[in-house]
Amino acid sequence: MRPAPIKRCRGFTLIEAVTVIAITGVIAAVVVGFIRSPVQGYFDLERRVETTDTADTALRRMGRDFRLALPNSVRSVGTSPLCLEYLPTVTGGRYRAEAPGAALDFTTPTTTFDVLSTLNPIPASGDQVVVYNLGIPGADAYSGENRATILSATANSITLDTATQFSLASPGNRFQILPAAEQAVFYVCTNSGSGIDAAGNGNGSLYRLSHYGINAVAPTSCPAVSTDSPMLAQNVSHCEFDYTAGVTQRNGLISMRIDITKDHETTSLYNAVHVSNSP
């Protein structure tokens, strides 16, 4: 028998390897050119969605709070458009104005009065009741002339910790409850006028500050922000708050604008909230 022929194994030559590498590089460059724009577009879209969601969430939260504000309690702080103060409410109702029952008497100090509508939630001890807040001398919750602290309450009755004679009766026999846990609330926008940093991000932040007491005199500057203050938005490059009371004082308009800048791209949102000033 003749011996089987010897099989010779051959590999790639250097020229073939270099050719394959060169061709692969050309193909990779072409592929990168096709997918670069879609990938960059995806990251751009993700950034825009994030900044839009941040601004929208902040404005919605502010709008909800201002709609629940005590009538005639919104006030601008000083001449700055970057800070607004208001008194939040948690519930309200109608008081009994005449006997039988425990009526709220405006001619003599009162300790207990009946509530005609069921309170929900029931006020806690330390919460405050306000009657007919007009925001003027004699009927200003900030000054305390129509405000009293609650000792205890049920769904249909309120007992005050001190006998109080409220200044003016409400035409609709209405009252509002202020929470002791928050007292006055401020929305503060810091560093919004300092532009953007080297990375293209806004330098400012938006905060919601509470429990600053209820001060008769409007502060001339916004309260200080600490490291543990609750933040609603960051990367803020510009914000504006403006409050305009209605001509008849039965409504008001709060205009809010916030710009969020990230990676040299700015998202700007505007919202206007009608505030009921009918106490």
Percent of the chain exceeding pLDDT 70 equals: 91
Q: pTM of the prediction? A: 0.83
Q: How many residues does the chain have?
A: 279
Residue 41 located in a structural domain: no
C-alpha 158/C-alpha 93 separation (Å) is: 11
CA separation (Å) from 1 to 7, 8, 26, 81, 207?
18, 21, 53, 105, 96
List, in sequence order, every beta strand (DSSP E) within the chain. Answer: 75-76, 83-86, 91-94, 110-114, 128-131, 147-154, 157-164, 174-178, 185-190, 204-210, 231-245, 251-262, 265-276
Whether residues 190 and 267 share a domain: the answer is yes
Residue 37 belongs to a domain: no
Among 198-207, 229-238, 242-251, which stretch is predicted with the lowest mean pLDDT? 242-251
**Number of domains the chain is built from:** 2
Q: Is the pLDDT of residue 8 over 80?
A: no
Q: Are residues 189 and 81 in the same domain?
A: yes
Range of the domain at 64: 51-86+183-276
Domain final residue, candidates 178, 203, 232: 178
**Is there a domain that residue 36 lies in?**
no
Specify whether the CB–CB gap between 93 and 116 falls below 8 A: yes
Residue 1 has pLDDT above 60, yes or no: no
Query: Using 50, 70 and 90 to split pLDDT, how confident is the model at 193?
Result: low
**Domain-located, residue 162:** yes
User: Do residues 81 and 108 share a domain?
Assistant: no
Q: Which residue has the higher pLDDT, 226 or 4?
A: 226
Q: Are residues 208 and 71 in the same domain?
A: yes
Is residue 65 located within the same domain as residue 144?
Answer: no
Q: Mark whether 71 and 205 lie in a shared domain.
A: yes
Q: Is the pLDDT of residue 229 over 70?
A: yes
Are 120 and 246 within one domain? no
Same domain, 149 and 188: no
Side-chain-side CA neighbours of residue 128 (13 Å): 24
